[in-house]
Amino acid sequence: MLGWRLCIVQVQQLVGGYCQTDCSAEGCPITSCSSALSAMSGYSAEQLQGSSCLALAGADTGTSSLKQLMAAQQPGKGGAATVLLYNAAGGAFWARVVVLPLKTDPHHPTLQAPVPGHTGARMT
């Protein structure tokens, strides 16, 4: 129970946004997301819901980072990566993506926070 409460506190303190995915379904579709994630991505919550958790990935998003995040969404796992994502207008932005598994629920909240000033090389 303490882990769940800590997760809620972290989400409430998060500057960026979050989404919740259904890890029991193929592609880990997004089931809900915050208004902050909608603002960062340029997509409405309705547009994001049901789409793959990789919906914001693009041509220059590092494949090893994506594999790491997909592996983190397996039952009992978790993890984080800084990835290059794309908004609805096609603009790229760096985000720190943290996957937090919930032991009592097949859904994983995925926290996404922008990385201000990050202009790092393409992550693979």
Question: Could you report the per-residue pLDDT of 77-107, keeping only the tens digit for each?
Answer: 778 888 888 999 999 988 888 777 766 555 5
CATH homologous superfamily, domain 2-114? PAS domain (3.30.450.20)
In angstroms, the Cα distances linking 64 to 79, 90, 93 are: 13, 21, 18
Task: List b or e across 51-62, with b for residues whose CB sees 16 or more CB atoms inside 10 angstroms.
Answer: eebbbbbeeebb
* Structure confidence at residue 16 (pLDDT): 67
Residue 48 has pLDDT above 70, yes or no: yes
* Residue 90 in tokens: 């096609």
| C-alpha torsion 75→27→85→59, nearest 10 | 130
Residue 43 has pLDDT above 90, yes or no: yes
> Across the chain, how many H-helices and E-strands are there?
4, 5
The residue with greater pLDDT, 108 or 30, is 30
Task: Give the integer Cα–Cα distance in Å for 108 and 120.
Answer: 27
Following DSSP, what letter does each residue of 9-31 receive, concatenated?
HHHHH-SSEEEEEETTSTT--EE
